[in-house]
């Protein structure tokens, strides 16, 4: 595990992450109740995250990322209570918590924002089905003007509905664009004027997730 500070490296695809407004990654790490914490820079942190561990990033423009493929997924009933508890507790402590995830194979794309313990907006889609669509669209989403196919719409029974050119499906790029409106688009981290830093790699405690 290399702790030598390095510059932020873009990430986002085939990954889940939290964005937390914080000034100290150690404080975020401690709030998660993790095991086996080790100092790590961006490069080794990402490698660990894609291997199933969790990376708590250095601070970037007032935000700390929690990057982990194993975060409980939004809209998956067996993990819904864990997911909600995580978002509730982090947003209560830090004022806000944002969740993003995307996975190409299952076409899973999701985003959520909690403020002071309360869910403001959550959306998740996978395998041609809208799993979650709670709360009003945020100003950022309204500006992006996404219009998605709705499998529950009355006109969805017609083949013509699915050929409409003014509707689309959620995709991984939409996840990044919402992240950019709410906090930071992680695929553009190398475009920001940031200092080298190091964060932490750890794992959830057994049975925690």
Q: In this structure, is residue 172 part of a structural domain?
A: yes
Flag the least confident range among 3-17, 67-81, 144-158.
Answer: 144-158
pLDDT at 163: 82
Q: For residue 111, give every residue at least 6 positions away whose Cβ sits within 8 Å of its Cβ, in sequence order, or none.
A: 98, 99, 100, 101, 121, 122, 123, 175, 178, 179, 182
Q: In this structure, is residue 6 part of a structural domain?
A: no
β-bridge partners, 21:
63
Q: In this structure, is residue 149 part of a structural domain?
A: yes
Position 56 pLDDT exceeds 70: yes
CA distance 63 to 57: 9
Position 40 pLDDT exceeds 80: yes
The count of domains in the chain is 1
pLDDT at 180: 97
Domain of residue 165: give its range. Answer: 15-204
Flag the least confident range among 17-26, 101-110, 152-161.
Answer: 152-161
pLDDT, average across residues 110-137: 94
pTM for the model = 0.93
Q: In this structure, is residue 1 part of a structural domain?
A: no
Q: In this structure, is residue 2 part of a structural domain?
A: no
Q: In this structure, is residue 119 part of a structural domain?
A: yes
- The pLDDT confidence band at residue 207, using thresholds 50, 70 and 90, is low
pLDDT, average across residues 35-42: 92
Instruction: Go through 14-36 and write b for each residue having 16 or more CB atoms within 10 A of its CB, e for each that does not.
Output: ebbbbbbbbeebeebbebbebee
Q: In this structure, is residue 138 part of a structural domain?
A: yes
Q: What is the pLDDT of residues 83-119, one digit of tens each?
A: 999 999 999 999 999 999 998 767 899 999 999 999 9
């Amino acid at each position: 595990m290399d702790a030598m500070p390095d510059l932020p490296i873009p990430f986002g695809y085939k990954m889940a992450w939290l964005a937390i407004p914080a000034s100290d990654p150690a404080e975020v790490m401690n709030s998660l109740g993790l095991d086996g914490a080790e100092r790590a820079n961006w490069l080794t942190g990402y490698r660990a995250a894609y291997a199933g561990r969790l990376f708590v990033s250095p601070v970037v423009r007032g935000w700390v990322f929690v990057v982990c493929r194993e975060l409980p997924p939004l809209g998956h009933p067996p993990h819904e209570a864990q997911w909600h508890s995580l978002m509730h507790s982090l947003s209560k402590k830090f004022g806000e918590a944002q969740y993003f995830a995307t996975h190409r194979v299952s076409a899973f794309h999701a985003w959520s924002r909690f403020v002071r313990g309360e869910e403001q907006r959550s959306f998740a889609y996978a395998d041609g089905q809208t799993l979650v669509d709670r709360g009003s669209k945020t100003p950022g989403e309204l500006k992006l003007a996404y219009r998605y196919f709705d499998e529950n719409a009355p006109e969805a029974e017609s083949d013509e509905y699915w050929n409409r050119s003014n509707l689309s499906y959620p995709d991984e790029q939409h996840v990044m664009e919402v992240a950019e409106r709410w906090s930071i688009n992680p695929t553009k981290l190398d475009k920001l004027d940031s200092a080298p830093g190091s964060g932490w790699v750890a794992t959830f405690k057994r049975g925690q997730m």
